[in-house]
């Protein structure tokens, strides 16, 4: 679609008028600001707002998808009273069925592995069905593929995402309150070219998506293997795999490390030191516009039911800043 000059030029009166309208809209609409509901993190992180791009960075199997699923699920109660508002989760990793089972596990408090295997007692079956009813009325929509459709698995591009959101808004009459993209390196590029440039373009397109549909967009991205060569393995902004424009594009930047994936059991990590367990999750707030950063949080995660809890100990921020300035050889 060709862009007309008159659509991109705003005189002083229009700038003032549009700014006042936006302030009025934000004042009247409490929806314009989704909290992650992650313990401790929301003490420092400002709510996720219209047009923002939030990057979630982590190495393989370090809970990127888990955190995004947690935030999308916890956003649902925040939509109450806002007609037609929905959360949209686009997955290139799981089928719709697998994603749905994870959500039903979180609601029913049944271990997800039991649902995946179909190994349920009669009581668990009833709890699962009640949770499925709750899922059926939840304003959480998925974009992806169904393993039961009989069709080949589509690998969607960002252009496909734009079309899907336009369909949701224009034909289904829904209002996106939050969009999650899981994750950048799995998204099919719209154009040929070097892989680094393709992924950089995907990040830019995600930011454009947030602006076009007036909602916050969370995008997961994978870190490179270089993080495994360090003693402190929480990825930094520069560790984003195959993309170098994350810092410029992101309004908020969250990094994840589950020490169990790289450290011996019961070894000690952090300052103050914390024993490595299956449930220890470090969350780093590396960047946010108009808010404090960097910050670090040691949290307790239960992957089987996708829940995140606070721990008693919190890494002092000054110690984290010292680590941020370390030179890794």
Q: What is the CATH number of the domain that holds 100?
A: 3.40.50.300
DSSP 200-264: HHHHHHHHHHHHHTTS-EEEEEEBPGGGGGSSS----GGGBTT-S-HHHH-SEEEEEE-GGGTS-
Give residue 101's domain range: 32-256
192, part of any domain: yes
Distance of CA 157 to the CA centre of its chain: 18
Name the residue with higher pLDDT: 23 or 108.
Answer: 108
Could you tell me if 102 and 132 are in contact, meaning their C-beta atoms sit under 8 angstroms apart? no
pLDDT at 245: 72
What pLDDT digit, counting tens, does each position of 39-89 carry? Answer: 999 999 999 999 999 999 999 999 999 999 999 999 999 999 888 999 999
The answer to the question of residue 165 being in a domain is: yes
- Nearest 10 degrees: Cα torsion 203, 204, 208, 214: 40
User: Would you say residue 166 lies in a domain?
Assistant: yes
The pLDDT value recorded for residue 232 is 95
Number of domains in the chain: 1
What residues contact 72, with CB distance under 8 A and at least 6 apart?
A: 87, 89, 140, 178, 180
pLDDT value at 329 more than 50: no
The pLDDT of residue 250: 92
Q: Over pLDDT 70: what percentage of the chain?
A: 88
Mean of pLDDT values over 186-191: 86
Residue from 138, 147, 145, 207 nearest 179 by CA = 207
pLDDT attached to residue 278: 93
Contact assessment for residue 295 and residue 283, using Cβ atoms and an 8 Å cutoff: no
In which region does residue 19 sit, left (phi positive, over 0), alpha (psi from -120 to 50) or beta (all else)?
A: alpha
Tokens of 263: 């450290």
Distance between CA 188 and CA 78 in Å, rounded?
A: 32
Contact 56, 223 (CB under 8 A): no
Return d(Cα 96, Cα 92) in angstroms, integer: 10
Average pLDDT, the chain: 87
Is there a domain that residue 132 lies in?
Answer: yes
**pLDDT score for 321:** 46
Residue 294 lies in a domain: no
Q: Is residue 21 part of a domain?
A: no
197 pLDDT above the threshold of 90: no
């Amino acid at each position: 679609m060709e862009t007309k000059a008159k659509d991109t030029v705003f005189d002083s009166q229009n700038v003032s008028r549009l700014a006042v309208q936006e302030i009025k809209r934000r004042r009247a609409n409490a929806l314009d600001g989704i909290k992650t509901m992650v313990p401790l993190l929301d003490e420092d992180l400002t709510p996720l707002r219209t047009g923002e791009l939030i990057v979630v960075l982590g190495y393989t199997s370090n809970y990127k998808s888990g955190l995004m699923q947690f935030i999308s699920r916890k956003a649902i109660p925040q939509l109450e009273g806002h007609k037609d508002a929905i959360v949209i989760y686009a997955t290139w990793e799981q089928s719709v069925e697998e994603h749905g089972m994870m959500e039903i596990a979180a609601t029913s408090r049944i271990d997800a592995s039991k649902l995946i295997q179909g190994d349920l007692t009669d009581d668990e079956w009833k709890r699962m069905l009640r949770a499925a009813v709750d899922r059926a009325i939840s304003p959480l929509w998925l974009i992806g593929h169904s393993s039961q459709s009989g069709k080949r698995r589509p690998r969607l591009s960002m252009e496909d995402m734009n079309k899907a959101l336009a369909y949701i808004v224009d034909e289904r009459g829904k209002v996106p309150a939050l969009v999650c993209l899981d994750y950048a390196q799995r998204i099919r590029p719209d154009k040929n070219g070097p892989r680094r440039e393709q992924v950089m373009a995907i990040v830019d397109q995600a930011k454009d998506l947030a602006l076009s549909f007036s909602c916050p967009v969370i995008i997961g991205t994978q870190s490179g293997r270089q993080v495994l060569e360090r003693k402190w393995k929480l990825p930094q902004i520069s560790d984003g795999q195959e993309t170098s424009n994350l810092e410029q594009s992101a309004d908020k930047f969250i990094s994840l490390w589950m020490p169990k994936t790289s450290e011996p059991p019961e070894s000690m990590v952090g300052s103050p030191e914390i024993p490595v367990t299956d449930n220890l999750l470090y969350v780093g707030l590396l960047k946010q516009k108009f808010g404090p950063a960097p910050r670090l949080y040691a949290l307790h995660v239960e992957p089987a039911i996708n829940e995140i809890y606070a721990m008693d100990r919190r890494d002092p921020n000054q110690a984290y800043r010292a680590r941020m300035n370390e030179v890794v050889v």
